[in-house]
Structure 1
Amino acid sequence: MSTAQQPEHHRSVQLRRTSLGRYAATNARGGTLELGTGEDAAFTPVEALLAAIGGCTMVDVDHLTSRRAEPVRFSVEVGGDKVKVDGEARLEGLTVTWEVTFPDGPAGDEARRVLPDAIRRSHDRLCTVGRTVEVGTPVANIVSGEEPRRERVRPDAE
């Protein structure tokens, strides 16, 4: 199904190999993200996931707080530990650390007042990426021309 034929709620990106260990992800609007193995400046897939978590929640919180005041500083650091458990690689202990400042004055005071609730709302309801990671979502691997193969997120998930 082409991007033009996809339902409005469907999201997808296309990835292609550009060389050994190098890949380009392209969205429907033509934006690209270079991915690699960590041997150069390209994002690794894990770094791209961390950026997606941070970017998603930043969009939410920015919209909710910037209505009150334009931030002086607005950044997050997203991190976690890459571990292997029973031979399976994953991230644990994911954290999003915020550094946000607003100008002095009533508008800045109002933005500071709503910031904790905006972060909580993003985490609990709004950020699609963070919510997907937290609840765990099966990933279907489909080889062109074959039926989807559903992978289990956790050994106890079914």
Structure 2
Amino acid sequence: MAEQTPKDTLRSVTLARTAKGSYTATNVRGGTIDIGSGQGDDFTPVELLLAAIAACSAIDVDLITGKRSEPDTFTATSSGNKIADEHGNRLIDLLIDFDISFPDDDGGRQATDVLRRSIKQSHDRLCTVGRTVETGTPITARLHGETIAG
């Protein structure tokens, strides 16, 4: 395996305020998504986290099973309960519930045969988002380069 340089490993998005409680996140490729505080129909940060968890695993599962067959149905629902306790606001009981089916043909049966294994592989080692949440990673907060927290 080739050694990764910091440029290869760095991932980032930039968040710009568009109005009170409203922001646009921009990735390095120029893609954007609007984020809000829950007053409108924009995704909230918690919903984006849930979407990232589901999407990360869904992509893994789709790439593995998709080598064998296109699915008839493919959804992944991510959920969690928001609580406030001595650790602050957070989600508990995180869950990804997949609903995936394949055609009743040779390719569909092959995809079905690897489906459970692909979900487990994504959960246990492939999905960067899920692995980061489950293993826990400190977050440093800075203001103009000065560390404020973390």
TMscore range, shorter length: over 0.9
Identity rate of aligned residues, in percent? 46
Q: Which residue of 2 aligns with 1:131?
A: 131
Q: Structure 1 residue runs of 4+, over 4 Å off?
A: none
Aligned twin of 2:118: 118
Matching residue of 1:65: 65
1:89 alignment partner in structure 2: 89
Partner of 2:140: 140
- How many angstroms does 1:71 deviate by? 0.5
Structure 1 distance, partners of 2:77, 2:120, is 17
Equivalent in the alignment of 1:16: 16
Q: Which has the higher strand share?
A: 2
Q: What do residues 19-44 of structure 1 show as CA deviations (whole Å, max 9, x unaligned)?
A: 00001100001111111011111000
The TM-score, its normalising length taken from structure 1, stands at: 0.89
> AA paired with 1:8?
D
* Helix, strand or coil at the partner of 1:125: helix
Measured in 1, the distance between the counterparts of 2:35 and 2:69 equals 35
Tell me how far apart the structure 2 counterparts of residues 106 and 140 of structure 1 sit (CA, whole Å): 50
What's the CA shift for 1:106?
Answer: 1.1
Gaps (5+ residues) in structure 2? 1-5
Q: TM-score, normalised by structure 2?
A: 0.93
Deviation sequence 1:52-107 (CA, Å, 0-9, x none): 00010111000000000000111110000000112600000000000101001111
Gapped regions of structure 1 (runs ≥ 5): 1-5, 152-158
SS at match of 1:70: coil
RMSD of aligned C-alpha atoms?
A: 1.1
Q: Against the structure 1 CA distance between its residues 87 and 63, is the aligned structure 2 distance closer, same or farther, given a 3 Å change threshold?
A: closer
The whole-number CA distance in structure 2 between the counterparts of 1:34 and 1:84 is: 26
